[in-house]
């Protein structure tokens, strides 16, 4: 498969279990992706610069540097989706991964079709800015959001957001003053149905509040409307 084909999405698979890595690589390659493998955490940053992947599948337990540390290291430079693999089903691993900038997680052992569905959902989210939209900019007081460039500034300071953090902010801001329920947010931003237990949107809301100087105890910019969803307050950005 040609690496020069712009339509072919590039995936960096970081997994130290070589047998599993080979199996996943063969499956994703058969689905039309160009996949590179990495087996150590402390070499991922260099590989990302050389390969420039569209998405990273990142295991947590790695030699050299664990997946949490790798994700935290990558985030200042890599804005594409990061899908973490974890052998643990505890909320601790899942939430910690999301807090440091991962976009989604899959618990091992994972069915190949489930992994494929998660990857495709994340890549679809990254394509949103290319869709036509009459309203490509949003300004609320000192907050400025540009959909095409995925640029966000607050009081003229650039705010660094992950891909799904930006998509979540855009969704809320483009419907300012309207409560957005969880079901709609999960379908639009995460790319799947809300199962009643997934906390990924809650974590991203918390991260957005911190980055946008909202109160974490008594939010006034992105409010939680209990039993309904979240509300972006348009006049709270002066």
> According to the model, what pLDDT value does residue 1 have?
46
pLDDT band at 91 (very low <50, low <70, confident <90, very high): low
| Separation of alpha carbons 49 and 169, rounded Å | 27
Distance from the first to the final alpha carbon of the chain: 51
> According to the model, what pLDDT value does residue 228 have?
87
| Separation of alpha carbons 85 and 15, rounded Å | 9
Q: Residues 164-187: what's their mean pLDDT?
A: 90
* Token pair 């799947």: residue: 192
Condensed to tens digits (0 to 9), the pLDDT of residues 105-149 reads: 888 888 888 899 889 888 876 554 333 345 689 999 999 999 888
| C-alpha to C-alpha distances, 90 to 61, 71, 72, 112, 158, nearest whole angstrom | 15, 19, 20, 21, 34
Against a cut of 0.75, is the pTM above it? no
Q: Which has the closest alpha carbon to 236: 188, 184, 172, 158?
A: 172
What is the secondary structure of the chain as a DSSP string? Answer: --TT-TTSPEEEEE-S-HHHHHHHHHHHHHTT-EEEEE--GGGHHHHHHHH--SEEEEESS-SSS-HHHHHHHHTTT--S-EEEEES---HHHHHHHHHTT--EEEESS--HHHHHHHHHHHHHHHTGGGS--S--EEEETTEEEETTTTEEEETTEE----HHHHHHHHHHHHTTTS-EEHHHHIIIIISS---S---HHHHHHHHHHHHTT--SSS-SSEEEETTTEEEE-TTS--
Q: What is the mean pLDDT of the chain?
A: 86
Instruction: Please name each of the domains of the chain with its CATH number.
Output: 10-126 (3.40.50.2300), 129-232 (1.10.10.10)
Condensed to tens digits (0 to 9), the pLDDT of residues 213-225 reads: 999 889 999 999 9
pLDDT band at 170 (very low <50, low <70, confident <90, very high): very high
Helix (H, G, I), strand (E, B) or coil at 222: strand
| Pairing verdict, β 55-59 and 104-107 | unpaired
**71 touches 100 (CB < 8 A):** yes
Condensed to tens digits (0 to 9), the pLDDT of residues 30-67 reads: 999 999 999 999 999 999 999 999 999 999 999 999 99
> According to the model, what pLDDT value does residue 130 have?
36
Please provide residue 214's backbone torsions phi and psi, each rounded to the nearest 5 degrees.
-90, 160
Q: Which element (helix H / strand E) includes 44?
A: helix 44-51
In the DSSP assignment, the letter for residue 179 is -
pLDDT band at 210 (very low <50, low <70, confident <90, very high): very high
């Amino acid at each position: 498969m040609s690496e020069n084909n712009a339509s072919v999405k590039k995936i960096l698979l970081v997994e130290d279990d070589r047998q599993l890595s080979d199996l996943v690589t063969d499956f994703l390659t058969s689905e039309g992706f160009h996949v590179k493998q990495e087996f150590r955490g402390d070499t991922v940053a260099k590989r990302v610069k050389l390969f420039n992947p569209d998405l990273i599948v990142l295991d947590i337990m790695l030699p050299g540097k664990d997946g949490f540390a790798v994700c935290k290291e990558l985030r200042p430079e890599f804005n594409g989706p990061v899908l973490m693999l974890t052998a643990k089903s505890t909320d601790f691993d899942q939430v910690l991964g999301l807090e440091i900038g991962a976009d989604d997680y899959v618990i091992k052992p994972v069915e190949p079709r489930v992994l494929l569905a998660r990857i495709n959902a994340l890549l679809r989210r990254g394509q949103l800015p290319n869709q036509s939209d009459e309203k490509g900019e949003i300004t609320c007081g000192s907050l400025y959001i540009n959909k095409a460039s995925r640029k966000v500034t607050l009081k003229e300071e650039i705010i660094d957001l992950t891909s799904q953090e930006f998509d979540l902010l855009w969704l809320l801001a483009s419907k300012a003053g309207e409560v957005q329920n969880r079901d709609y947010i999960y379908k639009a931003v995460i790319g799947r149905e809300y199962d009643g237990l997934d906390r990924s949107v809650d974590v991203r809301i918390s991260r957005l509040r911190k980055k946008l100087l909202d109160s974490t105890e008594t939010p006034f910019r992105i409010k939680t409307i209990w039993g309904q969803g979240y509300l972006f307050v348009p006049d709270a950005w002066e």
